[in-house]
Amino acid sequence: MTRFDTVGEDAVVTAETGGYVGRITLDRPEAMNTFSTELATDLDAALRAHESDDEVRAIVIDGSGDAFSAGIDLTEHAERDGGDAYEEWVASMEEPFATIAGMGTPVIAAAHGHAAANGLGLVAACDLAVAADGTMFGATAPKVGLFCMGPAVPLMDAVVRKRCLELLLTGELIDADTALEWGLINATAPAGEHVDAAMEYAETIASKSPTAIQRGKRAYYEMEGMDYAEALEYSNEQFAGLCTTADAEAGIEAFLGGEPLDADEWSDI
Ligand SMILES: C/C=C/C(=O)SCCNC(=O)CCNC(=O)[C@H](O)C(C)(C)COP(=O)(O)OP(=O)(O)OC[C@H]1O[C@@H](n2cnc3c(N)ncnc32)[C@H](O)[C@@H]1OP(=O)(O)O
């Protein structure tokens, strides 16, 4: 592999090519490869550098250290003030999703450890993805008073389209295990315990920020009807709006302090 010289020496991603394949590694292992503004900008530059190299026919994105990525770097949140500043900030974080969608070169995620929030979004935004055994995925933002607005955009059509068409076109019945495998349902439960299992989901949702959950759910359905670029722009506006809520202020501070908020500590909607 040779290093891409268009990606700076002090970048927080590394970018190399070997033969026809490029490899981009998120390289902030001390910060779980969280998306700082710098990491997002460097990732975007590395993607563009590969795309403009005719030799590169496919790209792999992985992460150094123990995690693929734990999402946006929440320590940057406090450095901003006001909706516009947050919107500009989050727009840079989602730029690689738009870049991947606009590229001809296929991009493959290779995840390990955790792929959370924007890290989950990056996995979904890639054309293909593989994961090491034991990798955990999550749209974890509501536990800090935020919502994975941008990651929702690539996520919403990454999961279901082929399974959906199979049901619609064949007209056949599928059993609960198949429905689980396909992602039509979230869990199965022993006979008679399905309501308890559903209640467990409800309690888990109820333990997160109600403001983030309600705004997030509404935004999700709004974005479903939009094209990709429009949805990413809308997601940035919505995320910036969430950044200034009392729940985000308190939730992020509590998370970074090592004591995440409980169900009864969030603000009323
Ligand atoms: C539109 C886009 C939306 C977003 O991306 S918003 C960002 C939302 N991000 C999250 O919700 C992810 C938050 N992180 C987590 O949920 C967890 O982490 C993981 C599930 C990824 C991993 O859990 P575990 O292995 O138990 O690690 P740990 O003890 O929670 O974290 C290790 C250290 O890393 C810091 N950290 C984790 N994620 C972030 C982050 N996103 N920004 C800044 N710091 C982060 C923690 O505080 C802690 O630090 P210390 O070792 O000093 O206690």
Report residue 82: phi and psi, to 5°: 95, 150
Best residue for ligand 1 mutational test, from 43, 66, 122, 255 (most atoms within 8 Å of Cβ): 255
**Residue 70 alpha carbon to ligand 1 centre in Å:** 5
The closest alpha carbon to 135, from 80, 75, 63, belongs to: 63
CB 67 within 8 A of CB 19: no
The rounded distance, in Å, linking the Cα atoms of 21 and 106 is: 10
Task: State residue 211's pLDDT score.
Answer: 95
pLDDT higher than threshold 70 for residue 2: no
Task: State residue 210's pLDDT score.
Answer: 94
The rounded distance, in Å, linking the Cα atoms of 89 and 249 is: 16
pLDDT higher than threshold 70 for residue 258: yes
Can you tell me the mean pLDDT for 166-187? Answer: 79
Provide CATH 3.90.226.10 ranges for the chain: 2-206
Residue list, ligand 1 pocket, CB within 6 Å: 32, 34, 70-75, 90, 114, 116-118, 140-141, 144, 146, 148-151, 239, 256, 258
**Which CATH number among 3.40.50.970, 2.40.50.140, 2.40.37.10, 1.10.12.10 corresponds to the domain 210-266?**
1.10.12.10
Best residue for ligand 1 mutational test, from 28, 32, 34 (most atoms within 8 Å of Cβ): 32
- Report the greatest alpha carbon distance in the chain: 61
pLDDT higher than threshold 60 for residue 144: yes
The rounded distance, in Å, linking the Cα atoms of 103 and 133 is: 29
**Residue 146 alpha carbon to ligand 1 centre in Å:** 13
Q: What is the ipTM of this complex?
A: 0.98
220-249, pLDDT tens digit by residue?
Answer: 989 988 999 999 999 999 999 999 999 999
Highest average pLDDT, of 13-17, 65-69, 107-111, comes from 65-69
Q: How many CB atoms lie within 10 A of CB 143?
A: 18
Task: State residue 175's pLDDT score.
Answer: 85
- Looking at the CA of residue 90, tell me the nearest atom of ligand 1: 1
Give me the percent of the chain exceeding a pLDDT of 90.
59
Model pTM? 0.84
Amino acid at residue number 82: G
Can you tell me the mean pLDDT for 168-188? Answer: 80
Best residue for ligand 1 mutational test, from 43, 89, 140 (most atoms within 8 Å of Cβ): 140
**Which CATH number among 3.30.200.20, 3.90.226.10, 3.40.50.450, 3.20.20.450 corresponds to the domain 2-206?**
3.90.226.10
**Residue 96 alpha carbon to ligand 1 centre in Å:** 20
Amino acid at residue number 218: R
Beta bridge partners of 23: 16, 60
Q: Which of 59-63, 92-96, 167-171, 185-189 has the lowest mean pLDDT?
A: 167-171
Q: What's the CA dihedral at 223, 202, 72, 107 to 10 degrees? A: -60
What average pLDDT does the structure give for the chain? 89
47-105, pLDDT tens digit by residue?
Answer: 999 999 988 888 999 999 999 999 999 999 888 887 788 999 999 999 999 999 999 89
Can you tell me the mean pLDDT for 121-136? Answer: 88
192-217, pLDDT tens digit by residue?
Answer: 888 888 889 989 988 999 999 999 99
Task: State residue 221's pLDDT score.
Answer: 87
The closest alpha carbon to 71, from 28, 14, 105, 106, belongs to: 28
**Residue 52 alpha carbon to ligand 1 centre in Å:** 34
Can you tell me the mean pLDDT for 26-31? Answer: 97
SS3 126: coil
Q: How confident is the model at residue 170 (pLDDT cuts 50, 70, 90)?
A: confident
pLDDT higher than threshold 90 for residue 261: yes
Provide CATH 1.10.12.10 ranges for the chain: 210-266
CB 125 within 8 A of CB 100: yes
The rounded distance, in Å, linking the Cα atoms of 60 and 122 is: 12
The rounded distance, in Å, linking the Cα atoms of 38 and 150 is: 18
